[in-house]
Amino acid sequence: MNRNQALGDLKTIRQIMKRTQKEAGRHSGWFILIAGVLWLVGFTANQFVPEYAGWTWAAVNLGGMIAMGWTGIRLTRRSDVRTTWWKPIFFFWVILAAFAILLGWLFDANDSVQIGLLAILAAALGYVQIGAIFQSLHISITGILVAAMAIGAFFLIPDHFLLAMALLGGGLLIGSGLWMIRSRT
């Protein structure tokens, strides 16, 4: 193989990598969009019917797992890019959730606001880490913004924290997800 052939092959590899990264970003957008809808529904219900918070989140999380599973299968079938990255990503989120539950239990988080803040900060940390792993500045920035909004709402409007997270957090995730899906970069 001569130098020109090697350079041509490297150029092709870079194009494939760029296309794969772009496709992965669009796929991530769907999951962030679904998470935003879940936050909108779950946190709104928590604000207005807190006595059903446990049942609401159980239904929202079950619906979210089904929606994300269906979306993942659908995207995989329609995509030119085949990957097995869904398994470590899935286990990453399961382990992060387990640690968040453990921390909530150890530090005796006992009301909807404390539990909500812990869950939000764990999710935001997950977004920042996934963004760093996959070199997606969009995902990392989304996580940073979600964390900043959650901390701000926790201290500035604690009585309306849950509603703020429904509207601001859910809205940010929905907007970020839509932007990532439609993004050409």
Domain-by-domain residue ranges, the chain? 3-182
The residue to which tokens 């539990």 are assigned: 115
Q: What is the pLDDT of residue 78?
A: 72
Positions of the chain with pLDDT under 70: 9, 13, 15-26, 79-85, 184-185
Task: Retrieve residue 103's tokens.
Answer: 């921390």
Task: Retrieve residue 182's tokens.
Answer: 């439609």
Q: What is the pLDDT of residue 18?
A: 63
The SS3 call for residue 108 is coil
Q: What is the pLDDT of residue 146?
A: 92
The DSSP 8-state label assigned to residue 51 in this structure reads: G
Q: What is the pLDDT of residue 21?
A: 57
